[in-house]
Amino acid sequence: MIAEPNAAGNLPSQKENAVHDETVPESAVQNGSCVRNGNPKTPSVVDDWVEAYKQDRNVALLDLINFFIQCSGCQGMVTAEMFQSLHKKDVMRKMTETFDEETGLQYKKFMAYPWILTVTWPVDMDNEDYPLIRTGPYWKKFKANFCEFIAVLVQQCQCSILYDSYLMDTVISLLTGLADSMVRAFRHTSTLAAMKLLTAVVSVHLNLDVNKHNAQRLYEVEKKRISGKRTNYRLDQLERKRKEYEQKLLEIQNMMNAIFKGTFLNRYRDVIPEIRATCIEEIGSWIKTYPDAFLNDSYLKYIGWMLYDKQAEVRLKCLLGLQGIYSRKELVSRMDLFTSRFKDRIVSMPLDKDHEVAVQAMKLLMLMSQNCEDVLSAEECETLYQFVYTTHRPLAVAAGEFLYKSLLSHEGDEEVQPKGGGKFGASTDQLKRLIRFFLESELHKHVAYLIDSLWDWAGKFLKDWECMTALLLKNAEEDGEALSDAHESALIEIILATVREAAEGHPPVGRGAAKKILSVKEKKIQLEDCTKITEHFIMVLPQLLAKYSTDAQKVANLLQIPQYYDLGVYSTGHLEKHLDALLREVKDIVAKHSDMSVLEASSRTYYILCREEIAIYNQVDRARTQLIDELMRQLNQLLGGFWQKEEGFCMDAGEISRMHSALRRIAAFHNAHDLTKWNLYDKTLKLLVFEMEHGSLPVLMILPALQCTYFSLLWQLAEVSENSPKETLFALRRELRHFSQICMCFLHHKGKDVREKAFMILCDWLLILSHQDSNNNEEAVGLLDYLPNTSLQEKLLLFIQEHVFIEEEEESKDLTEEEERKEESCKLDDLHKKRSLLAAYCKLIVYNVVEMTAAAEIYKYYVKTYNDFGDIIKETLSRTRHNNKIQSAKTLILCLQQLFQTHAESQDSSNGVDFSSASFTNMKELARRFSLTFGWDQVKSRESVAMIHKEGIEFAFQGATGVDGKCLPPNLSFLLIISEFSNKLLKPDKRLVYAYLQRYIAEPLPCKGEEWQPLIWYRNSLLASEDEESSVLGSSGEWSPMGTSKMSSFKRKLSNGSLPETSQTEAASKAPDLQCASQLASAAGKSRKRLKSREMHLQEHLPFLCPGGLRRRYCKDEIKTEGVSEEGQAEDTIEDIDVDVVGADQDS
């Protein structure tokens, strides 16, 4: 039996060793305590064993043999018989590994010269547990001590018994024999021991080789010093020592060959990945330790071949071994053939599905690039550089190191300064190379990811903000090397990314699961960087804003820098004059630009600077008030001129543009600042009402006016407190209802942008009003609470169907490359808008603002629009299921029912449902995808899945009210759809659902004809094995027409998962003919007993399916079912539940 190694309570106190019929007491080596307990005195234990070996080597060797056997987890016994006492034929016959069924013991006989060893142990064929694969610190230490013991054993024996032609022959024979065992524990343990033994022997070989060369050198020196006065005694002594070393080297070489050929060549492709990984790890260490013997293609080929292994652990060991070789320049010159043969494979491995393998492959390629001349082409390097943009941070950091050392950092940068570079020469050159690389990376524009990848390696020059800003402020007239416009934009993006990385100290969004917890040292560096950023940019940023004030993109990026300031520096450093300069530049920028990104960045800058707790608040607040006054004065002037004209119909393009810009500026600031005292709400509401009545305003005016009105109401809502008077609350309530009516009206506006903006605002508005904080004023919440009525819910759903899920016909046009690029960009923008609309509506479903059943219309498009909206729909499904499992299940089945009814209405009623039609196939696929969302945890999803089956069965048998209830139900084929959920049922729940199905089947039921096949298919998906299918087929006449060939065809049709597969054991035990009714009686009795014993448990978890639950009245989350009398229940139970249904294999 594979068990714990040498536990005192599990093993007998003595072991029988059949050498001269002697019984030997356990030693420290034999019982494995030096390994199991992590004995720090391992060398002393080995010394004791060596002494015991010198006294009686047979007994000592058997101790060592027992040690290896027991470290495999074997509790058995080892006996030995001398090889000389047997004939050769008998020896070959005894080399076996068998299992005795009578005694339940496993036997293994193999040669460990000069003995034939027999290992006997009780076996549990299902037990694959043994020390080397166990987890936890104890077993990790066990493995380390086991490997250390082997190394110490060889080290302590190398001066004495290692070369006696007995010890190593026996140990190598033992390990080779165990390594060929069918038992995984023996094979794994002995392979590890053999590989570590060879590693130790290689070290001995290396020491002997050094000693031999030293002896040879001494011999040559002594030979030259011989004179007539001296004898040749010293020379003869050195000669004998040299020959002794040569003889030992020959023996060691034979040991190495025996282990390599006997164990490594057989096990490096073992079926167990841990064994393969051990072999590859050790051959890598042999090559690094003794390259003169192992660094050749005869050994390297094994590492190259295993680069293609299916297991990531093995591929990883290959890469780590190769890193040790390619990191040494003196070894690289002997790797030419290997490099040319396997380079393409290594270059492809950064795309490995295992993250750690990809990281180590990138590090290996970096070493190859550094130490091998021209091993990687320019195209290959460019491909590898692009990994700096990957989302997996360790791989991106490795690629960043590769990029930095290959492209950005060249030797001599510090000594060779670029002409005219001044004190920033080296950093300037590096920055220009980085900018050039970023601009040439056409596929990626994510500079934050690039900076994060380089941060660990290029942090010194990436924090050189003085150099960066000097490069931006450089005058082209003074120095002809000024940057181009594209280079300036890229450098500003790099500055912003480096400032953010230094100030926040964690990777950008999408790279890393959560914010990194900084150490004390990292926090100190972060604070120092923030101070450095603040002190530098406080003085430089106004200059940069002044220089680029007309460039919207550059200004928008530069205005994000103040959010990372340490604002206390303004007052402590007496730098208020620089604050005034910044505020003046921001004010000028707001006056010049109407671009929303610039305006929002300006508004956020004021918001960051205008904090009441800091000393500069009054100064910034005055500047902000002056700016808002100026903006409102401009807006009032434009509105005054607009209302004075005859109904505003005579505005020219210039006036519309000025009005648009003024409203956008106000909207951008109203988002972050409370502008209620300027009475903006009445002004913008008047514009919206005018548009509702006349419909003549330009879209450019409507959109910002709608946004401003929305922000005004939000600020009023935020001001509601515990002491707010009722009059204020009632007035606010009227305003809220009025604004909601305006948004509903704009859902049908002729402008697409207006419709979409109104929908987004309405969704957010409803979500806010329905989830107000009741801590302050419950009465206010009651007055202001607003849930959409049925009409509004229908309008919102209709809007989604018309604006998100409607496919636009593509017209084939002959476009230029530039036009195709623009069209593709427009399509992406349109898709982004659609995703935003759908996400806004799905939030209403998730937070119970609209009825969950509305999600049924969304779920219909799950498969059809999976590439565009699948993630949003799947998340909605997951969230609603978390909120209410039963209602979510009803929504899923409602979706399928609606699709089925639409499909049935489109079919010819006389021909029935066409199972091969595209719509029916799509329904089945949708049901299958719904089933996959339940995951592997069947216990967690049992209530939902059972509800789906119950609702599906009831829907399938709707309308079955013909003569004696035997007419074909019109929705019977719907059972094929819900059969996709059968493999998500637990075994007891399958029985319950099958019993529920039986209540809808009249006895006897004439199931002849193809029209009844869905019932048979669904019933088969609930049954557990082929025996039960055949027993049910033979138990009543209605199933008999189903022949074997027919059943086979149906299984092929439903091979996608609706029909459960049977195991080999079940298939082998299947009766060839149908069971007769008399054979079914006993099975039916057993079934009733088993079902009765589980009745209480099932009724507790699934009351809507249990017989006792049919008489209950359910609440809104339960299903109302018809009452059934006790007599009818008893009769149904006896007649319908007549087989012991065992759950089928659960495949997802």
The one-character DSSP state at 1138 is -
Structure-model confidence comparison of residues 653 and 1039, the more confident one:
653
pLDDT-based confidence at residue 1103 (cuts at 50, 70, 90): low
Between the alpha carbon of residue 892 and those of residues 104, 371, 419, the distances in Å are: 53, 60, 71
Cα within 13 Å of Cα(491), Cβ side = 25
Max CA separation in the chain (angstroms): 134
DSSP for 1097-1113, please give it. Answer: HHHHH-TTTSGGGGGS-
**Element (H or E) spanning 120, and its range?**
strand 115-122
**Top-ranked range on mean pLDDT: pick from 160-169, 306-315, 565-574:** 306-315
pLDDT at residue 219, as a whole number: 81
- Is residue 337 over pLDDT 50? yes
Report CA 249 to chain centroid distance, whole Å: 52
Cα 499 to Cα 519: distance, rounded to the nearest angstrom: 20
Structure-model confidence comparison of residues 718 and 87, the more confident one:
718
Pick from 358, 425, 345, 437: which is nearest to 395 by CA? 358
Structure tokens of 136?
């936890």
Reduced to 3 states (helix: H, G, I; strand: E, B; else coil), residue 506 is coil
Contact 916, 1075 (CB under 8 A): no
Contact 421, 470 (CB under 8 A): no
77-82 sheet: strands from edge to edge: 77-82, 115-122, 105-112, 97-100
Average pLDDT over residues 180-199: 91
Cα 156 to Cα 45: distance, rounded to the nearest angstrom: 11
Sequence length of the chain is 1148
Pick from 1127, 1016, 1124, 1033: which is nearest to 1071 by CA? 1033
Between the alpha carbon of residue 522 and those of residues 40, 270, 878, the distances in Å are: 38, 46, 38
Report CA 1043 to chain centroid distance, whole Å: 47
- Over the stretch 871-902, which tens digit does the pLDDT of each residue have? 999 999 999 999 999 999 999 999 999 999 88
Structure-model confidence comparison of residues 232 and 39, the more confident one:
232
pLDDT at residue 719, as a whole number: 84
Contact 62, 78 (CB under 8 A): yes
- CA-atom Rg of the chain in angstroms: 41
Q: Provide the 10 A C-beta neighbour count for residue 416.
A: 12
- Is residue 607 over pLDDT 80? yes
The one-character DSSP state at 903 is H
pLDDT at residue 287, as a whole number: 94
Structure tokens of 727?
């009059």
Cα 876 to Cα 800: distance, rounded to the nearest angstrom: 15
pLDDT at residue 81, as a whole number: 61
Cα 665 to Cα 603: distance, rounded to the nearest angstrom: 9
pLDDT-based confidence at residue 623 (cuts at 50, 70, 90): very high
Candidate from 16-30, 504-518, 1096-1110, 1130-1144 with smallest mean pLDDT: 1130-1144
- Over the stretch 814-828, which tens digit does the pLDDT of each residue have? 677 778 888 888 889
Contact 170, 255 (CB under 8 A): no
Cβ partners under 8 Å of residue 111, min gap 6? 83, 91, 95, 117, 173, 177
Structure-model confidence comparison of residues 242 and 6, the more confident one:
242
Q: Provide the 10 A C-beta neighbour count for residue 397.
A: 22
Reduced to 3 states (helix: H, G, I; strand: E, B; else coil), residue 74 is strand
State what percent of residues in the chain have pLDDT above 70. 74
Pick from 569, 678, 591: which is nearest to 629 by CA? 678
- Is residue 404 over pLDDT 90? yes
pLDDT at residue 479, as a whole number: 55
- Over the stretch 406-415, which tens digit does the pLDDT of each residue have? 988 865 444 4
pLDDT-based confidence at residue 422 (cuts at 50, 70, 90): low
- Over the stretch 1126-1140, which tens digit does the pLDDT of each residue have? 333 333 333 333 323
* Per-residue three-class SS string for 336-405: HHHHHHHHHHHHHHHHCCCHHHHHHHHHHHHHHHHHCCCCCCHHHHHHHHHHHHCCCHHHHHHHHHHHHH
- Is residue 867 over pLDDT 70? yes
The one-character DSSP state at 133 is G
Candidate from 207-216, 657-666, 885-894 with smallest mean pLDDT: 207-216
Helices 576-592 and 596-609: angle between axes, nearest 10 degrees? 150
Cα 45 to Cα 41: distance, rounded to the nearest angstrom: 6
Tokens 């300031």 belong to 565
- Is residue 67 over pLDDT 50? yes
- Is residue 215 over pLDDT 80? yes
Phi and psi at 1121, nearest 5°, equal -125, 160
First-to-last CA distance in the chain?
Answer: 34
Q: Provide the 10 A C-beta neighbour count for residue 1073.
A: 8
Pick from 95, 264, 110: which is nearest to 191 by CA? 264
Cα 122 to Cα 104: distance, rounded to the nearest angstrom: 6
Reduced to 3 states (helix: H, G, I; strand: E, B; else coil), residue 677 is helix
Between the alpha carbon of residue 1136 and those of residues 960, 998, 1002, 1075, 1076, the distances in Å are: 18, 6, 10, 17, 17
Structure tokens of 802?
């018309």
pLDDT at residue 88, as a whole number: 46
Cα 481 to Cα 460: distance, rounded to the nearest angstrom: 23
Q: Is omega for the bond preceding 1004 within 30 degrees of 0, making it cis? A: yes
Pick from 751, 664, 773: which is nearest to 711 by CA? 664
Structure tokens of 156?
């302590």
- Is residue 548 over pLDDT 70? yes
Structure tokens of 432?
């220009």
- The amino acid present at 289, given as its one-letter code, is T
Contact 51, 88 (CB under 8 A): no
**Element (H or E) spanning 121, and its range?**
strand 115-122
**Top-ranked range on mean pLDDT: pick from 138-147, 306-315, 572-581, 1116-1125:** 306-315
Between the alpha carbon of residue 811 and those of residues 59, 498, 704, 831, the distances in Å are: 90, 45, 33, 18
- Is residue 1089 over pLDDT 50? no
Q: Is 1139 left (phi over 0), alpha (psi -120 to 50) or beta?
A: beta
Tokens 């609440």 belong to 1115
The one-character DSSP state at 747 is T
- Over the stretch 86-112, which tens digit does the pLDDT of each residue have? 444 454 444 455 555 555 566 677 666
Q: Provide the 10 A C-beta neighbour count for residue 950.
A: 23
pLDDT at residue 223, as a whole number: 75
pLDDT-based confidence at residue 435 (cuts at 50, 70, 90): very high
